[in-house]
A and B are shown apart, each in its own frame.
Chain A
Amino acid sequence: MKLYVTDLEGVQHEIEAMPNWTVMEIIRDGDQPMRAECGGSCACATCHVYVAQEWLAKLPPMEDEERGTLDGGFEVEPNSRLSCQLIMTPDLDGLKVTLTNDSSN
């Protein structure tokens, strides 16, 4: 499985994606900058990414906790998600996300 990550300079990277890993963990394992300060407990918003429009509908809906934690993020858009809350499954093979100032600056 592949995950496509666009960095803050606009360069896209193809990363090997492991099933059942979170997108946050996959980005970090793929050596892309990923702060994820709370370590994936949905507490800090420093794993904030933008999800490519065509993938949005395939993702599990956001829960209240994620929506609330996103309040600690900046430049939040309708396609914003916390990558620690996105679990990689075969349905998501080829998922495209873009890093943010929160996650990677």
Chain B
Amino acid sequence: MTTDAISTDVVIIGAGPVGLFAVFELGLNDMKCHLIDILDKVGGQCAELYPEKPIYDIPGLPIVTGQELTNALMKQIEPFNPVFHLNQMAESLTKTDEGKWRVTTDAGTIIECTALVIAAGGGSFVPKKPPIKGIEEYEAKSVFYSVRRMETFRDRHIVISGGGDSALDWTLNLQPLASKLTLIHRRDEFRAAPDSVNKMRELVAAGKIDLKIGQISNLNGAGGQIESVTVKTDSGEMHDIACDALLPFYGLTMKLGPVANFGINLHQNLIPVDTEKFESDIPTIFAIGDINSYPGKLKLILSGFHEAALMAQQAFHYVHPDRKLRFQYTTSSSDLQNKLGVAAE
């Protein structure tokens, strides 16, 4: 082990409901976990796509929203002190001389572990990229899908496109330092926090930003430097808007990402596993939840919970090879109750 690496029993890629519940099953069997997730919050799709939507098919919970389920799982796994590495993408996987897995994230976090659990759902959430011809040549030069440093945009002529909270928040945040800012949205209605919409409208009324209704159909520029965007209005008119930076905010989409390069056997972007241990073709690498495939697979949260429980049995043999696995119930085992911090005095 190198000095800069964190050491743990299990690394879980993906902090959605299934990754979170895996912490519980692994914890009951004395395995410590670190979780990596590209989002800035836990809960995966439950928190990102449908935090307010009710889910009706979680056993024992007749109705629960995505966010409530996430909160409940966080409470349930609290006794096991999982460590979260959020806003990070698991980028590479290598084997150490000692036979451990070494996971490196795009933020430079290095974690070494005995077993790896991929609970990445539909993949990493990444910004949607507009299907505009030639946009790739501008990306990271004058087209940006996120704002790392606001100073990058000082005194620039910015175009922001989109009608949600990200588009509005960055419009409000970047307006004071931009030389000019134009917000482009396909309709004159915004699905964002009403307060942000009001502030944006005030800036438009004060002449501090321009609001253009339409959709970007073309990018104009050279050598990666954007010079203008062509906006098509509802009536089909084309307008060029000069700019030197474009920030498209259309929400997130799911891409498998670097996991595809980990050397694990994939089939149609899913990880085939057995149904006894939910292990991939590489021993000690497991896949649970929506990302795996096996005959009869159902992409349900409850299936992922079951998979997590069985995975943890096999992971135990890898993490604690000298110990005998004892199957116990939380209702009756004082050993498990101690781990959960609920044992009677």
Contact = CB atoms under 8 A, between A and B. Distances in A.
A43 B122 contact: no
B131 A72 contact: no
B215 interface: yes
B53 A43 contact: yes
Given A37-B254, A44-B251, A46-B253, A75 B215 contact: yes
Given A43-B53, A105-B131, A71 B186 contact: yes
Contacts of B130: 74
B337 interface: no
Interface residues on A, range: 20 to 34
A38 interface: yes
Contacts, number: 49
Interface in B166-215: 185-187, 189, 191, 215
A45 interface: yes
A76 to B, nearest CB: 6
Interface in A36-66: 37-39, 41, 43-46
B250 interface: yes
A45 B128 CA distance: 11
A43 B131 contact: no
B60 to A, nearest CB: 22
A76 B215 CA distance: 8
A68 interface: yes
Binding site secondary structure of chain B? loop
A74 B250 CA distance: 8
Contacts of A37: 49, 122, 253-254
Contacts of A105: 131
A-side interface mostly: loop
A20 interface: no
B224 interface: no
Nearest to A78: B234
A12 interface: no
A37 B299 CA distance: 12
Contact of A71 (B49, B122, B164): B164
Give the residue among A46, A67, A68 with the most B Cβ atoms within 10 A.
A68
Contact of B131 (A39, A74, A78): A74
Given A46-B253, A68-B191, A75 B131 contact: yes
Interface of A: 35, 37-39, 41, 43-46, 67-68, 71-76, 78, 101, 105
Interface of B: 45, 49-50, 53, 122, 128, 130-131, 162-164, 185-187, 189, 191, 215, 234, 250-251, 253-254, 299
28 contacts: A38-B45, A38-B50, A41-B49, A43-B49, A43-B50, A44-B49, A44-B251, A46-B253, A67-B189, A68-B189, A68-B191, A71-B162, A71-B163, A71-B185, A71-B187, A71-B191, A72-B128, A72-B250, A74-B128, A74-B130, A74-B215, A74-B250, A75-B131, A75-B215, A76-B186, A78-B234, A101-B131, A105-B131
